[in-house]
Amino acid sequence: MDFFVPLDLREPINQAVDSLVVRYGDRLHVLNDLILQGLLLPLERALRGAPPWVILLVVALLAWRATRRWQVALPLTVACYLIGCFGLWDALMQTLALVLVATVLAVVAGLPLGIVAAHSRRLRAVVLPVLDVMQTLPTFVYLIPAVMLFGLGKVPAILATVVYAICPLVRLTDLGLRQVDPDVQEAAHSFGTTRWQMLLGVQLPLAWPSILAGVNQTVMMALSMVVVASMIGARGLGEEVLAGIQTLDVGRGLQAGLAIVLLAVAIDRITQGFGRVRRPIRDEERRS
Amino acid sequence: MQRSTCSTLFALALALSAGAAAATTSPWCQSGKPVKVAGLNWESGELLTELVATVLEQGYGCRVERVPSNTITIENALAQNDIQLVAEEWVGRSEIWNKAAAAGKVKAVGNVIVGATEGWYVPEYVVKGEKTRKIRPAAPQLQAVSDLPKYKQLFRDNEEPDKGRFLNCPSGWTCEGVNSQKLKAYGLTDSYVNFRPGSGAALDAAVASAYQRGQPVLFYYWSPTALMGKYRFIQLTEPAYNEACFKTLTDRNQAKPCGSAAPEAVIQAGVSRVFHDADPVLIDFLGKFNVPLPLLNAALAGMANNPGSAAVQSRRFFATRPDIWRAWVPDDVAQRIAARNTGK
């Protein structure tokens, strides 16, 4: 009688989540422990334990190595120093650990996926729409089930971040590989390269700038998830922002927000630098 | 003996005559003005608003407008008679309410919820075990917050494995500050992590997940709520309420707070002064309006479980529990409500 056929997905989904929690919750909590103890906590402890000047020195060296310009490296280091001046150094290290682990996991999962997608048209037709869904689904919708399955805190935050941030890496890896000059590949082929040699020696190096652009985007999206992740109890800069806005302490929220921006700028310049450097060097090599 | 019988009879007669006089008509609604009711947006507030609105509409033939808004705006609007009625007002918890009440602009009526609780909870099976799911009691001796240091391994925080995890309120809630002070007052800062879940939904999800898996969890919670209706929790005992000590708990900057349970919550219906003076009939109803806490918790659990809103639970309540709502209103009003809620 109604124009719209009544459809209700709520109950089946609720029941599915409940039974997942009862059946696999304990095992997934163990996985949570493994990621924490094996990956995140050691890194976090190292970052928080290291004297700040060591970290700043590493930032300076990385920035210089990436851009080869002190005019860039120095301001970036000063920016990180500033975050410490705000009294947010500890929160910064926690956030950095979270973003780094999320990025590493995204690369470990995303790079192979991108490579496979580049080589199989059929797989690409499946992978890309799934990525679109992962990127557009409102984050909170899967954050809360993630909490039920993995527990509160950093691990579900990392997993949600990977889900959200993996997309550009897969896409740009796929795109980069498919845009490798066919002539070059044919030439390599005629020298009798195996498929692995072709991938590792020809395709990946030539697609490198595109892949690094993907990594850059992934890190940026991971950083933008930091505040959302704090809504399920991940500590760090995001928690500062959340606490600030929830108590109407706009200054506190904005200060922590600014710290996130500074961190983002630093990571962005460094990763972009690494993506760009390759080309000029190669040109020089060719000339010599 | 005889005197008391006599006075009971007299009181009865008085009540009957008052009932007869107040019976049918509400002056406010009779004059054609709508009753503007605050559209509260938390679980219990939603349901109570629905119940009140139903009585007003079906029983007294009022025109009811629901005005959705947040608490602060609602209390301001009530003080200015922009809205007339708030179904669930935690009296004395907000500055705005206190000022408006002192100025005589708002009135609190009745006892909408009696025995609302807040405090630190663990699932019942942690202390008593649970036969149906074969859960052994993990901490049979656990009773009070002072026992907690012994059990820090039970409530282990996997991000800081040598401490226990206490699930606090999300930052930005009043209770978050109070609980943080309580951790200090009870000497738990060394043995427990003050874990802020970030959002109410995350807190609920963490507690529900632990309960479904039969795992120990230590958390702050309150009733009336859906989880309280759905699951069995045990509240840990705290030192009795003490006004001076509770002040040290509400002040974040107190370095050495002393422990105290929360004061008893006074939850009433809030009405604007104008409405209060204009309509003794509806005020009489609000004075009797009360939903027993276990029933309320169960209804809220039903709301959370079923794809159904407060309206569905409200309809079910009026169809199945006349024993409760008939006490709120005079007979003829009750008849009208009953007539609308049976043949379903």
Q: Where are the domains of chain A?
A: 20-277
What's the pTM?
0.75
pLDDT 10s digits, A3-44:
898 888 888 888 898 898 888 888 888 888 888 888 898 999
> Model confidence over B8-20: pLDDT tens digits?
555 544 444 444 4
Nearest to B159 among A18, A36, A145 (CB): A36
Distance from CA of A84 to the nearest CA of B (A): 23
CATH topology of domain A20-277: MetI-like fold (1.10.3720)
**Segment among A215-229, B118-132, B307-321 with least mean pLDDT:** B307-321
Determine the average pLDDT of the residues in B100-128: 92
The tens digit of pLDDT for each residue in B215-231 reads 999 999 988 888 888 89
Domain covering B123-250 assigned CATH 3.40.190.100 in the classification: yes
Give the pLDDT confidence of B228-248 residue by residue, as tens digits: 888 999 999 999 998 889 888
CATH no. for B24-116+266-341: 3.40.190.10
pLDDT-based confidence at residue A1 (cuts at 50, 70, 90): low
Confidence bin at B282 (pLDDT 50/70/90): very high
Query: Which of A33, A147, A245 minimises the CB distance to B205?
Result: A147
Q: Long-range contacts of range B294-298, CB-CB < 8 Å, 24 or more positions apart? A: B294/B229, B295/B321, B295/B324, B296/B44, B296/B47, B296/B113, B296/B224, B296/B229, B297/B223, B297/B224, B297/B225, B297/B226, B297/B228, B297/B229, B298/B229
Q: Is A36 on the interface with B (CB under 8 A)?
A: yes
Give the residue extent of every domain in chain B: 24-116+266-341, 123-250
pLDDT of the residue at B252: 79
- Sign (positive/negative) of CA torsion B162, B165, B170, B171? negative
At B188, the pLDDT band (50, 70, 90 cuts) reads very high
Q: Which residues numbered 147-206 in A keep a CB inside 8 Å of some CB on B?
A: 147-149, 151-154
Q: Is the pLDDT of residue B25 over 50?
A: yes
- Which chain A residues are within 8 Å of B158, Cβ to Cβ? 29, 32-33, 36-37, 151, 153
- Mean pLDDT of chain A, nearest integer: 87
- Band the pLDDT of B99: cuts 50, 70, 90: confident
**What is residue B273's predicted lDDT score, i.e. its pLDDT?**
94
